[in-house]
A = this chain, B = another copy of it.
Amino acid sequence: MKTEQKMYTMKEALIFSQRIAQISKALWKSVEKDWQQWIKPYDLNINEHHILMIAFHLKGASISEIAKFGVMHVSTAFNFSKKLEERGLLVFSKKVEDKRNTYIELTEKGKNMLLDILEEFDPETNSVFQGTLPLKEFYGKFPENMEIMAILRNIYGKDFIDIFETTLDNIDKEFIEEDNRLIKKP
């Protein structure tokens, strides 16, 4: 029997693991606070807003797509979608060619609310954005976090990252800037 040659020591593994755990907790707590602050006037929580965004960018999505790309449980995706449906922000449907999955699609009201929220986005009050500006100043561009993206690709798979990039491309292609606000192209 060959002795298995480990690529790392336990100490290295633990230190890396603790580092990434603390970094990601601290970063997420700031992101979460900024995000909550941003959508507060619309009486939405983060999961609800995330559902609206995914359905918007994918032009309709199944509950399992919402759960996957929103990194939430299927039951969470379903329950919050239900609440958004009750508020008239989205509708549920079945597709003729796929009767097993439940799809959601934004209503006009849902789309308008999402676009209003995007228009309201204010980088000045976003602590993570403000914390990043010196890097942008120094490097001439915002960090792209390629290492973290590579880690997430290994954990969540290629299509997770693809959808992720698609939603960012959509913002780039479908919006124009007017008076410091982002407006959807007609």
Contacts and interface: CB of A to CB of B under 8 A. Distances in A.
Q: Size class of A's contact patch? A: 35 or more
A23 B14 CA distance: 22
Contacts of A71: 25-26, 29
Assembly stoichiometry (copies) = 2
A2 to B, nearest CB: 16
Main secondary structure of the interface of A (DSSP, over half): helix
Contacts of A23: 145, 148-149, 152
A145 to B, nearest CB: 6
22 contacts: A14-B118, A14-B182, A17-B121, A17-B126, A17-B128, A19-B145, A20-B31, A21-B128, A23-B145, A23-B149, A24-B31, A25-B28, A25-B31, A26-B152, A26-B155, A27-B27, A27-B28, A27-B148, A127-B155, A132-B151, A134-B154, A145-B148
